Copies of this chain bind each other. A is one copy, B any other.
């Protein structure tokens, strides 16, 4: 049986060391290299793409997130399979990562066996979602309302970012060269789309669900 060659992408060295230590004591699987963010991973693949079968990809990282990196990598190197390995169990992250092209999604509170299982599955180009993840996904599907997932437009994201930075409608208006009434409309639409109540909740939601 051929050895599965893995690239490990996570911003915490101790986590990388730990995962590596788990994987490298398993037959036929080997971590051949590691990167600490998405940008590094892409640079690495530019030279060593042939050395890698599968990428274990964290999501929240400095420089470039795992979502952005995954999107790019699946286009450039379709042979390489990506397994998301993260502590985020929020639907928004899961959906984004899957849409970006990750074949599997496993949480950091899984055990060693599940990790190995997930790696082997994704290596065969089959999908793998850990239990909690599957349940979340099914919930999304069962919820007719949420099937039209509340995706914010580019403009709305811009406004939302500015809001989380503490700017008022008027300030955002200046920043984006539009009327403060328009900003107001955007703010209202965002709150409505996400089914929220006010700006405080909005900021909380945005920060804890990775919208910004």
CB within 8 Å of B: which residues of A? 11-15, 17-19, 21-22, 25, 36, 85, 87, 107-112, 115, 163-168, 196-204, 207-208
Are B14 and A112 in touch, CB under 8 angstroms?
yes
Given A18-B17, A200-B164, A204-B166, is A87 in contact with B12 using a C-beta cutoff of 8 Å?
A: yes
Query: Is there contact, CB below 8 Å, between A204 and B207?
Result: yes
Q: How many copies does the complex hold?
A: 2
A25 touches B21 (CB 8 A): yes
- What is the CA–CA distance of A85 and B18 in the complex, to the nearest angstrom? 13
Q: Name the distance in Å between A19's Cβ and chain B's nearest Cβ.
A: 5
Q: Which residues does chain B contribute within 8 Å of A207, judged by CB atoms?
A: 203-204, 207-208
Among B109, B164, B203, point to the contact of A11 (Cβ < 8 A): B109
- Cα distance A111–B34 when bound, in Å? 13
User: Complex formed: what's the CA distance from A164 to B198 in Å?
Assistant: 10
Given contacts A18-B21, A18-B22, A207-B207, contact A109 B13 (CB under 8 A): yes
Contacts of A201 in B (CB 8 A): 165-166
Q: Which residues of B contact A204 (CB under 8 A)?
A: 164-166, 203, 207
Bound-state CA distance A107–B198 (Å) is 35
Residues of B within 8 A of A111 (CB): 13-14, 17
Closest B residue to A18 by CB, please name it.
B18
